[in-house]
């Protein structure tokens, strides 16, 4: 096998200059570490030309090979751009451990004086342990990145502990070579000095290789950390920045990445405004824990959103998503829970692709009852080509809470998953469902993780069905036409609770929708923006405010701009105020038979022949 480029020039130098050239050219060998070894080789080289002849072939090969490794080790970071740094570093680490042990075997086989054997006997177990731990670190890095991250610090500590004892061995070799040069007879000196010189050259190479193992271990650990950072950044960028405001529905969510290593997986949650005014609830987990899993999660999240926009039935949505995975190569294999909640009727439709069942906790006849919602067992999306995902229907009682989660919340390596599911049910029951959902999320995580760092990614989504909306309603919506259905659904429920007749609900909802449509069309250009809708009732009068923060633009087309006249026909009073900070539209109307303050009509609830929490059979 030919030498790497540039090595032939190194071979023309004497051993001392070879080492200096390699140290300067590769910028890997610290002078402080090599000082004693350099002195040893210089003494041996000057001792006798025959000793140099005996060892020169070995020294040439060792130093040339080390130079190649050193240069390769330094350019690994540059090669990161092609995504192969981790693989190259692991390959080099394995190879250098083999060379390290081979050189130590040559040292062990040499007939060395007692003065050298004694310090060598002290350091050899440390060297073997260091080599074994380097291999273990490399093996673990391939299958358990968090475990590799924990081993990296230990490898650094072992290398630091080796430095002193190894220096003592090189000092002993140097002293012995000098003593034999002075005292031994010429014939014996040549053979004996050559033996010490050969061992010294091999041992010197182990010093450099020990350093290389440490540096390559650092490269592997750094590559793992970079991959984890990239996966976390990608995952966080694909999770919702915030949860939407949905009248009648409370929402809170948490995402907790695995604490160490690259155990960033494909866990995700999502909340989707649907064209019908209903809300899509998503909890998913891509198989795997790496950058690819995080990327697949992004593809599946976008794919599910696209499928959900085409139809509201959860089972059909998962079937379309599965076809995308199988026929279009979208994402990987993933468990997914998809549910659709109607904020007005509190009807919940659920379909599952191999995911853990949601936990439903709610009041019934004054008692707190809980259960895991049953769904038909089905394979994950991306596992089989043609799968039917049935939809199961439930009705949420007022004040109930739905908990969706990924496996990292309930799975433990040392216990059955049933124990984790039981603990989640107890934890939610202990916290209660009547308080703030953000507090509920925090306490559930604290109770389930027990203050320990998460061993796996955890995603948690908590959803509540509010009893009544109350006299005040305030929510933000993206300034998009498809969000108007959510606005209408929320207003219809609030007006019904306020005692409005069916005709009043219709007319007020049309007027507010027109004001919101104007804000979407006239206040903003392309890009993300929001509108705010605030509703209040007082002494039989309902007041609704639609607010934007854009700059008003004239209507496009001849038949546009008539919305203000429609609003004034339907409402008792309409006030429009334009300004530098946006536009505000205030609409008022007195109800014919309002509900007295302090009381509210119960929200409309359509029974669909499903199971309510706390009941033992189908609803009537």
Structure tokens at 347: 């009807």
Q: Which residues contact 583 (CB under 8 A, 6 or more apart)?
A: 519, 522, 523, 547, 548, 550, 552, 576, 577
Ordered by start, the domain boundaries in the chain are 7-234, 241-465, 472-590
Residue 261 CA: distances (Å) to CA of 227, 228, 264, 458, 466 = 9, 7, 8, 15, 40
Measured in degrees and rounded to the nearest 5, phi and psi for residue 258 equal -55, 145
- Asked whether 63 and 23 are in contact (CB, 8 A), the reply is no
For every residue of 571-600, DSSP letters joined together read: SSEEEEEEETTEEEEEEEEE-SSPPPTT--
Sites in the chain below the pLDDT cut of 50: 1-83, 185, 187-192, 261-262, 364-366, 600-620
Tell me which residue of 457, 459, 460, 461 sits closest to 257, measured CA to CA.
Answer: 457
Q: pLDDT at position 74, please?
A: 41
Q: Which helix (H) or strand (E) holds 54?
A: helix 49-75
Segment 288-299, tens digit of pLDDT: 766 677 778 888
Q: pLDDT at position 276, please?
A: 81
Q: pLDDT at position 465, please?
A: 82
Please tell me the distance from the alpha carbon of residue 320 to that of residue 326, in angstroms, as a whole number: 10
Q: pLDDT at position 52, please?
A: 40
Please tell me the distance from the alpha carbon of residue 95 to that of residue 117, in angstroms, as a whole number: 27
Helix (H, G, I), strand (E, B) or coil at 451: coil
Strands, E assignment, 151-206: none
Please tell me the distance from the alpha carbon of residue 520 to that of residue 479, in angstroms, as a whole number: 5
Segment 329-385, tens digit of pLDDT: 776 799 999 999 988 778 899 999 999 999 999 754 445 578 999 888 899 999 998
Question: Does 3.30.460.10 match the CATH number of domain 472-590?
Answer: no
Residue 198 CB neighbours (<10 A): 20
Q: pLDDT at position 107, please?
A: 84
Q: pLDDT at position 402, please?
A: 94
For every residue of 498-539, DSSP letters joined together read: TT--HHHHHHHHHHHHHHHHHIIIII--SS--EEEEEEEEET
Burial of 287 (0-12, 13-18, 19+ CB in 10 A): middle
Q: pLDDT at position 436, please?
A: 87
- Asked whether 67 and 26 are in contact (CB, 8 A), the reply is yes
Q: pLDDT at position 85, please?
A: 63
Radius of gyration for the alpha carbons in the chain, expressed in angstroms and rounded: 36
Q: pLDDT at position 232, please?
A: 66
Within this chain, domains 241-465 and 472-590 share the same CATH topology: no
Tell me which residue of 398, 367, 365, 366 sits closest to 467, measured CA to CA.
Answer: 398
Q: pLDDT at position 378, please?
A: 95
3-state secondary structure 203-247: HHHHHHHHHHHHHHHHHHHHHHHHHHHHHHHHHHHHCCCCCCCEC
Tell me which residue of 113, 123, 109 sits closest to 165, measured CA to CA.
Answer: 123
Q: pLDDT at position 138, please?
A: 82
Q: pLDDT at position 352, please?
A: 97
Residue 526 CB neighbours (<10 A): 5
Q: Is the pTM of this model over 0.75?
A: no
CATH architecture of the domain formed by 241-465: 4-Layer Sandwich (3.60)
Residue in this structure with the two tokens 């490399």, named with its chain if needed: 138
């Amino acid at each position: 096998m030919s030498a790497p480029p540039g090595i032939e020039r190194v071979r023309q130098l004497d051993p001392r200059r070879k080492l200096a050239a390699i140290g300067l050219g590769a910028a890997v060998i610290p002078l402080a570490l090599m000082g004693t070894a350099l002195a040893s080789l210089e003494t041996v080289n000057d001792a006798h030309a025959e000793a140099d002849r005996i060892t020169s072939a070995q020294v040439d090969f060792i130093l040339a090979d080390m130079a190649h490794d050193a240069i390769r080790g330094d350019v690994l970071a540059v090669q990161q751009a092609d995504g192969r740094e981790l693989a190259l570093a692991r390959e080099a680490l394995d190879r250098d451990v083999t060379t390290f042990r081979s050189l130590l075997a040559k040292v062990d086989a040499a007939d060395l004086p007692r003065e050298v054997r004694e310090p060598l006997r002290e350091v050899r177990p440390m060297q073997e342990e260091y080599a074994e731990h380097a291999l273990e670190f490399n093996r673990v890095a391939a299958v358990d990145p968090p475990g590799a991250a924990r081993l990296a610090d230990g490898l650094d500590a072992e290398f630091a502990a080796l430095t002193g004892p190894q220096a003592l061995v090189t000092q002993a070799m140097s002293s012995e070579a000098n003593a034999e040069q002075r005292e031994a007879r010429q014939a014996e000196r040549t053979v004996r000095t050559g033996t010490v010189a050969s061992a010294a050259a091999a041992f010197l190479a182990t010093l450099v290789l020990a350093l290389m193992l440490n540096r390559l271990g650092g490269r592997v650990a750094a590559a793992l950390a970079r991959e984890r950072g990239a996966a976390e950044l990608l995952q966080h960028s694909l999770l919702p920045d915030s949860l939407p405001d949905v009248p009648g529905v409370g929402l809170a969510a948490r995402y907790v990445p695995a604490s160490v290593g690259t155990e960033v997986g494909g866990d995700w949650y999502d909340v989707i405004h649907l064209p019908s005014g209903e809300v899509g609830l998503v909890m998913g987990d891509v198989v795997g824990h790496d950058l690819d899993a995080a990327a697949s999660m992004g593809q599946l999240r976008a794919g599910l959103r696209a499928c959900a926009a085409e139809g509201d039935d959860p089972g059909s949505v998962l079937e379309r998503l599965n076809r995308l995975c199988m026929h279009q190569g979208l994402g990987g294999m993933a468990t997914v829970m998809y549910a659709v909640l109607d904020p007005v009727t509190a009807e919940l439709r659920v379909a599952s692709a191999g995911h853990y069942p949601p936990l439903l906790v709610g009041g019934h006849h004054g008692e707190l009852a809980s259960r895991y919602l049953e769904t038909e067992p089905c394979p994950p999306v991306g596992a089989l080509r043609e799968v039917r995902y049935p939809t199961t229907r439930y009705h949420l009682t007022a004040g109930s809470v739905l908990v969706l989660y990924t496996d990292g919340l309930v799975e433990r390596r040392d216990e059955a998953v049933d124990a984790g599911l039981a603990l989640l049910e107890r934890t939610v029951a202990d916290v209660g469902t009547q308080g703030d959902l953000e507090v509920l999320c925090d306490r559930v995580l604290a109770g389930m993780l027990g203050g320990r760092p998460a061993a796996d990614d955890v995603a948690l989504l908590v959803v509540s069905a509010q009893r009544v909306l109350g006299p005040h309603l305030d929510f933000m919506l993206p300034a998009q036409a498809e969000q108007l259905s959510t606005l209408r659904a929320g207003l219809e429920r609030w007006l019904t609770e306020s005692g409005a007749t069916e005709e009043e609900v219709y007319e007020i909802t049309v007027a507010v929708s027109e004001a919101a449509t104007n804000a979407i069309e006239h206040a903003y250009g392309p890009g993300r923006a929001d509108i705010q809708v605030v509703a209040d009732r007082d002494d039989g009068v309902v007041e609704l405010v639609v607010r934007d923060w854009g700059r008003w633009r004239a209507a496009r087309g001849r038949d546009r701009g008539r919305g203000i006249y429609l609003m004034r026909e339907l409402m008792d009073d309409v006030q429009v105020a334009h300004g530098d900070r946006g536009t505000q539209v205030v609409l008022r109307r007195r109800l014919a038979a309002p509900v007295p303050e302090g009381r509210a009509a119960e929200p409309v609830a359509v029974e669909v022949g499903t199971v309510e929490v706390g009941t033992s059979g189908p609803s009537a």
